């Protein structure tokens, strides 16, 4: 998709961070934006600011963990705009902490949003774009953490590996329909992801703290700088959209290790 002018974009997690950065970029290009966010007040403020740029914008309070809420989001978008062309499946949360300390509540909280939420939005988006039969593009937000795992942030890494796998399958499935799918893999971006704890039920047993992410993203790329990178990736229909190029050696080490293990099949003990 080269020209996004007058296209309709739906963005989950659109009231702040990367989602808001993407929304502002699209607005400058003349696209109209549905801002979906669990924080309804901020969604309304974001939509109002976008309308100030001369485009149409609708705010819809949405908890992506709830499939009925996701259905309502898409119904609202279709009622207001008649359809959707671009879907940014961007809502996400983070918890840090060592693997040995991860509780089931930690695990469930992160995967409910980052995997189940992505599935709810992705399946609904794919069905609508197919029905419309006019192409379109879906961007699922993963992370560089979707390719690298370590002792900290277990649930987050697992969830983002899952988003990468889901996106790859979705891309293959939707390509014959003329629908593009990209996986957004951000590096350190200065967002409010370290405040994910605020969305948790106080009764949940927790060992992980979202603030653990702060040192990693402090001083990172600004969300406003991510939007143009994402739009460029869409225009080139890239399967993966990366924001940073300084992780190349980490990726190379991972894939070299995998290939080495394949080469050692049948090797004497």
Mean pLDDT, residues 7-13 taken together? 98
Residue range 209-219: mean pLDDT, rounded: 74
pLDDT of residue 252: 94
In this prediction, residue 203 carries a pLDDT of 61
Provide the annotated active-site residues: 156
Query: What is the residue extent of each domain of the chain?
Result: 8-263
Residue 22 has pLDDT above 90, yes or no: yes
Distance of alpha carbon 165 from alpha carbon 76, whole angstroms: 29
Per the CB < 8 A criterion, the answer to whether 11 and 90 are in contact is: yes
Q: What is the pLDDT of residue 205?
A: 53
Please state, in angstroms and rounded to a whole number, the distance separating the CA atoms of residues 150 and 168. Answer: 23
Pairing mode, strands 240-242 and 179-185 = parallel
3-state secondary structure of 259: helix
**Tokens describing residue 137:** 């593009």
In this prediction, residues 127-131 reach a mean pLDDT of 98
Domain 8-263 class, CATH top level: alpha beta
pLDDT, tens digit, for every residue of 38-62? 999 999 999 999 999 999 999 999 9
Among 113-122, 160-169, 178-187, 196-205, the range scoring the smallest mean pLDDT is 196-205
pLDDT averaged over every residue in the chain: 93
Q: Which two tokens stand for residue 254?
A: 């991972």
Q: pLDDT at residue 148 above 90?
A: no
Q: 254, 260 in Cβ contact below 8 A?
A: no
Does residue 33 or residue 153 have the better pLDDT?
A: 33
Which residues, including other chains, have CB under 8 Å from residue 230's CB and lie 6 or more apart?
22, 25, 88, 139, 182, 184, 241
């Amino acid at each position: 998709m080269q020209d996004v002018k007058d296209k309709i974009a739906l963005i989950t997690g659109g009231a702040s961070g990367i989602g808001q950065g993407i929304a502002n970029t699209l607005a400058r290009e003349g696209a109209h934006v549905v801002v979906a966010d669990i924080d309804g007040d901020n969604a309304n403020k974001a939509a109002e600011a976008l309308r100030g740029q001369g485009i149409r914008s609708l705010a819809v309070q949405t908890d992506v963990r709830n499939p009925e809420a996701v259905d309502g989001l898409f119904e609202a978008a279709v009622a207001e705009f008649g359809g959707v062309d671009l879907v940014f499946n961007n809502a996400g949360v983070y918890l840090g902490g060592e693997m040995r300390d991860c509780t089931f509540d930690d695990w469930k909280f992160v995967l409910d949003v980052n995997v189940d939420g992505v599935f709810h939005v992705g399946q609904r988006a794919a069905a609508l774009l197919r029905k419309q039969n006019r192409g379109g593009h879906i961007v699922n937000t993963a992370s560089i953490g979707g390719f690298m795992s370590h002792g900290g942030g277990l649930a987050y890494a697992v969830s983002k590996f899952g988003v990468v796998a889901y996106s790859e399958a979705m891309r293959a499935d939707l390509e014959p329909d003329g629908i593009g799918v990209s996986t957004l893999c951000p590096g350190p971006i200065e967002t409010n992801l370290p405040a994910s704890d605020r969305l948790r039920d106080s009764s949940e047993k927790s060992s992980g703290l979202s603030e653990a992410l702060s040192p990693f993203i402090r001083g990172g790329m600004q969300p406003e700088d991510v939007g143009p990178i994402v739009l460029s990736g869409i225009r080139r229909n890239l399967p993966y959209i990366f924001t940073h190029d300084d992780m190349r050696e980490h990726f190379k080490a991972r894939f070299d290790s995998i290939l080495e293990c394949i080469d050692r099949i049948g090797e004497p003990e």
